[in-house]
Structure 1
Amino acid sequence: MKFKLLLASTVLVGTLAACGAEEEKPAEEAVKEKAEEKTDVVTTASIVNEADALVKALSAEGTWIVATLGDITVDEEIVVAGEFHNKGDAAQDIYRKLAPYTQDEDHNVLERFTVTVPKMTVQSENFKVQAGTVKGDIYVEAKGFTLTADATIDGNVYYASEDLKASAVIEGKVTGAQEVGAASDVVTTASLVKDGEALKKAASKDGTWIFAILNDVTIDDELVVAGEFHDKNDPAKPIYRKFAPYTQDEQRNVLERFTLTVPKMTVQSENFKVQAGIVKGDVYVQAKGFTLTADATIDGNVYFASEDVKAAAVVEGKVTGATEVKK
Structure 2
Amino acid sequence: MAGDPWRREEGKVPDGGGGRPSAGPGGPLRLRDWLVLQIESGSYEGLRWEDEGKTLFRIPWKHAAKQGYRARRDAALFRAWAIYKGKHLEGTDKEDPSTWKTRLRCALNKSVDFREVRERSQLDISNPYKVYQIVSDSAHGPGCWLHVRLFYGAELVREATARTAEGCRLGPRAAAADAAAERLLGPPREAQVRFPEPPPGARALRRLLPHLQRGLLLWAAPEGVFAKRRCRGRVYWRGPLAPHRARPNKLERERTCQLLDTRRFLEELQAHLQDGHPEPEYQIHLCFGEEYPGPPDQPQERLIMAHVEPIFARELLRYAKHHRHSAPGARPQAPHF
Does TM-score exceed 0.5, indicating one fold?
Answer: no
Answer 1 or 2: higher relative contact order, Cα 8 Å, separation at least 6: 2
**Which protein is richer in strand relative to its size?**
1
TM-score, normalised relative to structure 1: 0.32
Q: Which has the larger radius of gyration?
A: 2
TM-score, normalised relative to structure 2: 0.31
**Which protein is richer in helix relative to its size?**
2
